[in-house]
A and B are shown apart, each in its own frame.
Chain A
Amino acid sequence: MKPKLLIIYLLLVLVPLALLAGLGVRMAHDEQTMMRQRFREILTDQLREIDATIAGLVAARERDLQQTLELPDFDPSRLRELIRDNPFIRQLFVLDKTGQRLYPPAAGPYTTAERDFLERAGQIWKDQQQFYRNSEGAADHGWYVWFWGNGFNLAYWRRDAAGNIRGAEVERTRLMADIIAALPEAESIGGRITLADSAGNPVYQWGAHTPSPTELPQATLPLATPLNTWHLAYYAPVTGFGQSLRSSLFIGLAGIALALTLLAIYFYRENTRQLREATQRVSFVNQVSHELKTPLTNIRLYAELLEKDLPETNRHVGIIVAESQRLSRLIANVLRFARPRTLHKTAGTVDETVRSVIEDFTPALAAKDIVVNFTGNAPRPVEFDADALEQILGNLLSNVEKYAPGKPVTVTTVQTDRETLITVTDGGPGIPAGQRDDIFKPFYRLSNKLSDGVTGTGIGLTIARDLARQHGGDLVLLPADVGASFQVKLTA
């Protein structure tokens, strides 16, 4: 196999594959990002549900507290009894509208619990302003959060008709315990949800997944007020994430690669088969042409002898000679095209060769009423392949014979120190401007009214130019007003 072909076929497989792979990876990546995003959204939704559960619990507690705070009076022993029996309340407090504390009674005496409370909740008395205004203007109830000791403390307060602030410190551990009791159990999910307090420490967690200490949560959500310093975090194992997509991409690419390879092999085989067939055909034609050459040479030889011996039947024999010469040229062209040969340069004069070709052609041209005007100006002997020049001129004159009947043809030779120029100008229809370059391409034939019905192989000019170039020269079409004018250039 030719290495060039191999590379082409490799590229045929690899380039689309690489493109597809790149595209696929890109798509997979996008898809993965999207899936991750979607995954996060789903997890966040789950966290929202949990937040709603907790918020519901807090709301229920708020309603309870609101009811509890419907105190008919602030009799200390009654309030103490109430605190002793209510598992959700740690302490109660009442401030009148001037900010004076009504309970725990300003004058004492205090229980131990009340003393602890006064110490713990000192901030409440300092912070009283916040009961009288908040972001929404004057509020008549709300949560109050402060940090003391073990952290988070929570109180609910409401303003009564008399303008007193009635507050209840929530039993925070009980609230936590109730939240925990309302949340799912250990293995209810595959991931891990953690409820963390203000300091980020887990209060409660559930789920089968155990996150590593450095693992970041896939989603987090702060709780609703008043627990907004707490948050929920969802840890989920990310291994295997988007892997199915990647593996399906890989399978897809492998499939495409296989298909492309098979296709390339098929084309390659088809191509080599056709190439082989073409080669076989060419070599068959060669063989045949070769076989034809020998008898034709004999025919020509004897026809020429006959022409000399029988002058009276000159015309018929001349036709035989001309036709057999044409056949020779044809075969020479075919052989030349199929198997280019090396030149054999010998010393000689170009004019002589030209003249001899013209002589050979004269009968055939005369049959088409074509008069040849030859002006030879290249008498200096030069090194050239006479056979090749004959073939070039033969092809040119043969075209004249075919396409420019009834008009004279002018053949001129000019010689300089370095080159010899032979110009063949006919009086025919000429070459259309758009096809001046195409006529030298192999198997190209002018397609117009004139050429219709004229047979030809379409390789004459190709061979002529190839030969001229092989000679270090060229064959060009000269611009001409009438007809076609070809110029052969031979160096030296």
Chain B
Amino acid sequence: MKPTLPLIAALALATLVSAHAAPEVKVIAGLGRPVLPADEKGTTYLKVALTGFSSTRMERRTPVNVAIVLDRSGSMSGEKIRKAKEAAIMAIDRLNSDDIVSVIAFDDKVQVLVPATKVSDRAGIQAAIERLQPGGSTAIFAGVSKGAAEVRKFLSRERMNRVILLSDGLANVGPSSPGELGELGASLIKERISVTTIGLGDGFNEDLMTQLARQSDGNHGFAENAGDLARIFNAEFGDILSVVAQEVCVKIRCAEGFRPVRVLGRDADITGQQVVVRLNQLYADQEKYVILEVETPATASGRTRQLASVEVTYANMATRNSASHSLSVTASFNASRRMVEEREDRSIMASAIELIGVENNKRALALRDAGKIEEAKSALVGNRDFLTENAARYDAPKLKEYGVSNDAQSKQLDESSWNLNRKSMKKDQYSREAQQSY
């Protein structure tokens, strides 16, 4: 057995080393077209991808501070409220005594069923949820306000702070426009509170729900029927129980001459040469990315220029320290078209194309909203062709699938079940833009 001892020691050492090597968020920055045609203005896509490390590398998962805000308006009665209760209770089961939960129910009024509390009295919390009775109209704004207030009681950088809103109806008491709810979301994210919105059935306002989630960097779920709620709550809690980084800030400073045009699919602050995108959190093993469209200046062939410097800062929930990564991105210019095409980064291009596809999809939705069904249909068919073409070009099956789904959507624009189809389109757009896991 003697010879095995050093081996064991070596193994132990290796384990020790790997355990002590602080887990880090993987940050990659690259260009869709690192080589650009020389002597002319061009466009390229800068992708900054962030991938959360595995939650197994955390000694202790990030404790959560979550407010579950449940719609109990009259339309929720019956199976909906039953399933919602079940889903909430099941979700709370996954929390432990380090976590903080509050439960708020709203109709045209708001009731805090469980004020923010550590999850130690599980039975009491579940009993409070069980007692929920539906009736009344829908005061979403007030519900979220009270939910956020409960989260704020234990607001901490050490925790994952979140409001989960479940509603099946149109907000009709208090501020009710997508814009207003979006503003609230934009304010909450400044406190690092995200709002996940879950729409149930065909009666909710998907614009409002996606806007609120988007502005606060939460998730958005669409449960076509009450049976989907368990799956969605499960996925949502899967996300929030695996937060590895928070307060993520991606700063891109474009070099002189390179003009940042827009960030695809995300809200960004673009001031002059500087682009700032904030994410509230990163989940374990999930990739989130920022794609910036950059206008490149006419440059002589053979030159390589620095295009941008990228700085990513975040709070590492494993080490409880803030971390930062600095990267530099360069672009080359070449007169050879072949060279330009050969050097394209297929994966980055696919990501960019997908988000452009989302933009096309949104335009089609706007046309449909304006009642122009035929135009919307041809826009979707056009988008299908665009995606299919690029799928072949960049060898991206994901784009091909997206093309197929656009094709399917082009056939579901008529009045029958448009309500549900629209919600599912919105949900799909949102998931792609936010790289949501579900």
Contact = CB atoms under 8 A, between A and B. Distances in A.
- Chain A complexes with chain B: yes
Interface of A: 76-77, 80, 84-88, 90, 109-113, 149-150, 171-174, 176-178, 180-181, 185-187, 201-207, 210
Interface of B: 108-112, 136, 139, 141-142, 144-146, 148-149, 152, 173-175, 177, 179-181, 183-184, 186-188, 190-191, 267, 269-272, 274, 276, 278
B183 A109 contact: no
A205 to B, nearest CB: 6
B190 A207 contact: no
B270 A112 contact: yes
Given A177-B144, A203-B141, 13 more contacts: A84-B278, A88-B187, A113-B269, A150-B175, A171-B183, A173-B175, A174-B184, A174-B188, A177-B148, A177-B187, A178-B145, A180-B141, A180-B149
Contacts of A112: 267, 269-270
A187 B184 contact: no
Nearest to B177: A150
Contacts of A210: 108, 136
A174 B191 CA distance: 11
Nearest to A85: B190
A178 B179 CA distance: 18
B111 A177 contact: no
B260 to A, nearest CB: 11
Given A84-B278, A111-B270, A113-B269, A185 B109 contact: yes
Contacts of A176: 141, 145, 174-175
Nearest to A177: B145
Given A176-B145, A186-B110, A204-B139, A171 B187 contact: yes
A5 B41 CA distance: 121
A86 B152 CA distance: 15
Given A171-B183, A172-B183, A187 B111 contact: yes
B151 to A, nearest CB: 10
A202 B276 CA distance: 37
A205 B110 CA distance: 8
A181 B109 contact: no
A132 B18 CA distance: 66
A246 B271 CA distance: 73
Contacts of B136: 210
Contacts of A206: 109-110
A177 B184 contact: yes
A205 B112 CA distance: 14
B183 to A, nearest CB: 4
A180 B270 contact: no
A-B pairs with lowest CB-CB distance, top 8: A181-B149, A177-B145, A87-B190, A186-B109, A174-B187, A186-B111, A180-B145, A173-B183
A203 B149 contact: no
Contacts of A84: 190, 269, 276, 278
Nearest to B275: A111
A201 B276 CA distance: 37
B197 to A, nearest CB: 15
A109 B187 contact: no
B269 A80 contact: yes
Interface core residue of A177, A185, A206, A207 (most chain B CB under 10 Å): A177
A85 B278 CA distance: 11
B188 A87 contact: yes
A173 B187 contact: yes
A110 B271 contact: yes
15 contacts: A77-B271, A87-B187, A111-B270, A112-B270, A171-B187, A174-B188, A176-B145, A177-B148, A181-B148, A186-B109, A201-B174, A202-B173, A202-B174, A203-B174, A204-B110
A180 B146 contact: yes
A314 to B, nearest CB: 122
Contacts of A181: 145-146, 148-149, 152
Contacts of A187: 109, 111
Contacts of A203: 141-142, 174-175
Contacts of A109: 271-272
Nearest to A194: B173
A77 B253 CA distance: 13
B108 to A, nearest CB: 6
A111 B136 CA distance: 42
Contact of A173 (B173, B184, B267, B272): B184
Contacts of A174: 183-184, 187-188
A172 to B, nearest CB: 7
Contacts of B272: 109
A85 B111 CA distance: 30
A214 to B, nearest CB: 17
Contacts of A150: 175, 177, 179-180
Contact of B190 (A76, A86, A177, A178): A86
A177 B193 CA distance: 14
B352 to A, nearest CB: 20
Nearest to A171: B187
Interface core residue of A84, A85, A173 (most chain B CB under 10 Å): A173
A181 B112 CA distance: 10
Interface core residue of A149, A171, A207 (most chain B CB under 10 Å): A171
Contacts of A172: 183
Contacts of A204: 110, 139, 142, 145, 173-174
A189 to B, nearest CB: 11
Contact of B142 (A80, A110, A171, A180): A180
A201 B173 CA distance: 8
A111 B269 contact: yes
A85 B157 CA distance: 14
Interface core residue of B112, B145, B184, B269 (most chain A CB under 10 Å): B145
Contacts of B144: 177
Given A86-B190, A172-B183, A111 B109 contact: no
Contacts of B112: 185
Contacts of B146: 180-181, 185
A84 B149 CA distance: 20
Nearest to A206: B109
Contacts of B177: 150
Nearest to A181: B149
Contacts of B175: 150, 173, 176, 203
A156 to B, nearest CB: 16
A312 B348 CA distance: 175
A185 B110 contact: yes
Interface core residue of B180, B184, B271 (most chain A CB under 10 Å): B271
A207 B108 CA distance: 10
Contacts of B267: 112
Contacts of B148: 177, 181
A110 B144 CA distance: 31
